[in-house]
Amino acid sequence: MHDIQDYRAGGRSLPWPPSARRFADLVGDLVPSLPPGSSPTAGEVVDTHGTTVIAVKYNEGVLNLGDRRATANMAVMFDRAEKVITLDDYTLMAISGSFARGMEIARYLQHAFKYYRRTEMQEMSLEGKISEVSRAIAGNLPMALQGIGAFLPITSAYDPKTNEGRIFFYDGMGARFETAEFGAAGSGSERIRGAFDYIIRTRKPFRAMTLAEALRECLILLDIAADLDAATGGFTKVLPIARAITREGIVDIGIDVMRQAVAEVAEGGRRRAEGEA
């Protein structure tokens, strides 16, 4: 597939109908190439992105955590974005990348799961749910190839057949992979990927941690990502959003619990600093 820039630069002919070519030319006028550090002006369309999201197993299920920052180029567009979305009573999706497409697909999946439950009089299987997510990502590929609308989610679910939480991540074409301990997506995830393995090897597996322990470790990882990645908001200004999945369903991590966990992380850092001094 040729992209919009090839068409506007006079490259090879695109196999599109004339109306699509006129639309592509219009979009190309609306979405010019912006140099690093520049800001969009009136009339320009800029894709808002959300990063960073983390999912880890713990002894009762799966914990999902995401910072609240949404960016467009070098600008912070919003600092209250919710990136951990409830799809149904036993499924969560943490989104990174295009916030608009991520939310649109999340709403589609919510409707699809509910429609199946009402028409078939039973829950969609876990295999069906994660396959539906793959299909949605694959259907978004044309937009992603044009440089807009790309997003990569992490899907978490509690599996009653195996009596455990499960975590799935995807590539840009919809291929899915299951991880045994953790998953992360977004620009900040690249900076902390090795830290997950370090925690497992030096402390203990995430699946053996309590919810409180897993939450503290995720907050530390998010704080490291925020130090190394400008698009990640961390937790110093706005508390992250956190949800967990257990055998009983979705659990929202309340503000008081988050504040207590943040205080414990800060206290641990202070003690380490005093010990080094």
Please give the domain boundaries of the chain with CATH numbers for all domains.
Answer: 49-276 (3.60.20.10)
Half-sphere exposure of 20 (CA within 13 A, CB side): 9
Strand ordering across the sheet containing 182-185: 182-185, 53-58, 61-66, 241-246, 249-252
Q: What pLDDT digit, counting tens, does each position of 117-146 carry? A: 999 999 999 999 999 999 999 999 988 888
Quick check: 199 and 218 in contact, CB under 8 A?
A: no
Identity of the amino acid at 194: G
Single pTM value for the model: 0.80
Task: Please give the backbone phi and psi of residue 52, each rounded to the nearest 5 degrees, phi first.
Answer: -120, 150
Contacts 24+ apart (CB under 8 A), 37-45: 37/74, 38/73, 38/74, 39/73, 39/74, 39/75, 40/72, 40/73, 40/75, 45/148
Mean confidence (pLDDT) of the chain = 84
Catalytic center residues: 51
Residue 64 CA to residue 27 CA, distance in Å, equals 36
Quick check: 159 and 192 in contact, CB under 8 A?
A: no
Q: What pLDDT digit, counting tens, does each position of 210-248 carry? A: 999 999 999 999 999 999 998 899 898 899 999 999 999
Residue 33 CA to residue 170 CA, distance in Å, equals 28
Mean pLDDT, residues 246-262: 96
